[in-house]
Amino acid sequence: MWVWQLGQSMSMDLPTLLRRQHGVIATRQARMAGMSIEAIRWRVTDGQWTRIAPGIFYAYSGPMTWMARANALVLRLGEGGALTGDSAAYLHGVLTAPPAIISGAVTGRQVRRLTGTRVVRRRAMEVVHRRGLPVTSAATTVLDSCAEYSPSQWREIVHLLARWVHSPAVTAHQVLDALGRRGRYAHRALIMTALEPIIVGVESVLEYEAITGVVLAHGLPKPTLQARAGGPGELLRRDAEWTEFGVILECDGVLFHTGASAQDDRRRDRRAARAGRVTLRAGHVEIVYGRCELAVDLFLTLRSRGFRGALRPCGPRCPARVPGVA
């Protein structure tokens, strides 16, 4: 990785430099490529180059691309700067579309932002390079993105964690390590709680709520998550399965259980029935608002198949009680 703006002295011809930086160049870079101040001024006066900010120019015709704008902000930030937030997430490959506002941060000094960007100061950052640009590390970016949400938006935070951890960009352990290096952090308890089931296979907020709010909160045994359900070459999975008791729980989200997905669900249920296993299905309403009733259904199903544990109320007002038992 070669970066002019960090002060390396390696020479590079102007066309190659412009190509690498998507048409954006700083005065110091142009001088190191052999241009005089007069030549730079002439290109601006002649309309070949557009001045973006003091000492930063765009050398291509037409509107600036997102990558050009990102390179311009990196040049503006200088050494110790990096792209952050959704801008970093896009360059890590987790977001599929670039954000309209490009965000960055710099350590130890004040930097005036460019139009269409947001810049903050930080004491320190863990920086890596993606697509030739400095960005906050994947684990740092996850925590930064989660910090944008309020505590009441915990579902969005869990969605975000699952999206990152199930991508190639970062592991749950790396996020936990980064969290351990942070000082005060508003969502520490939520992230530590959420990452445990994510590590072992929870793939949606609905599954997370089912495992934590229905199963574990009511003292039911832990199931196997994302157990394979298809034959050779198939990718069918069961959300949660108590193999010992032949009981399966499937979490039906509206977006993920229609059309071909619904056909896969029915095929899984039929195959489970062949082997003498029973499948319980629950949607968002049952899992979020009827979790205690669902816990009773799960408990009685497990008990009918040999489970000898007890059902535990999730709180003082929990209505989960075994029928006929005081």
Residue 198 CA to residue 165 CA, distance in Å, equals: 8
Cβ atoms of 224 and 240 closer than 8 Å: yes
Check residue 162 and give its pLDDT: 86
Cβ atoms of 130 and 74 closer than 8 Å: no
pTM above 0.85, yes or no: no
User: Could you tell me which residues come within 8 angstroms of residue 127 by beta carbon, excluding any fewer than 6 positions away?
Assistant: 82, 134, 135, 136, 137
> In the chain, what's the furthest Cα-to-Cα distance?
92
State the DSSP code for 40: H
What distances in angstroms separate CA 190 from CA 46, 137, 171, 254, 292, one per listed residue? 57, 21, 17, 25, 21
Q: How many CB atoms lie within 10 A of CB 109?
A: 11
**Cα-trace Rg, the chain:** 27
Cβ atoms of 136 and 82 closer than 8 Å: yes
Looking at residue 8, its amino acid is Q
Check residue 257 and give its pLDDT: 44
Residue 54 CA to residue 78 CA, distance in Å, equals: 13
Cβ atoms of 243 and 276 closer than 8 Å: no
Question: Strand order in 81-83's β-sheet?
Answer: 117-122, 102-107, 81-83, 133-136, 127-130
Residue 195 CA to residue 161 CA, distance in Å, equals: 8
- Structural tokens at position 278: 């029973």
The DSSP annotation for 208-226 comes to: HHIIIIIIGGGTPPPPEEE
Q: How many CB atoms lie within 10 A of CB 284?
A: 14
- pLDDT tens for the chain, 326 residues: list them: 334 444 443 457 899 999 999 999 999 999 998 899 999 999 999 999 999 999 999 999 889 999 999 999 999 999 889 999 999 999 999 999 999 999 999 998 888 889 999 999 998 899 999 999 999 999 999 999 999 999 889 888 988 998 899 899 999 999 999 999 998 999 999 898 888 777 777 767 888 889 999 999 999 999 988 766 655 444 456 788 999 999 999 887 643 444 555 666 667 677 667 768 899 988 887 888 889 999 999 999 999 999 999 999 999 989 887 765 54
User: Could you tell me which residues come within 8 angstroms of residue 183 by beta carbon, excluding any fewer than 6 positions away?
Assistant: none
- Structural tokens at position 26: 């700083």
State the DSSP code for 246: T
- Structural tokens at position 20: 């690498």
Check residue 10 and give its pLDDT: 46
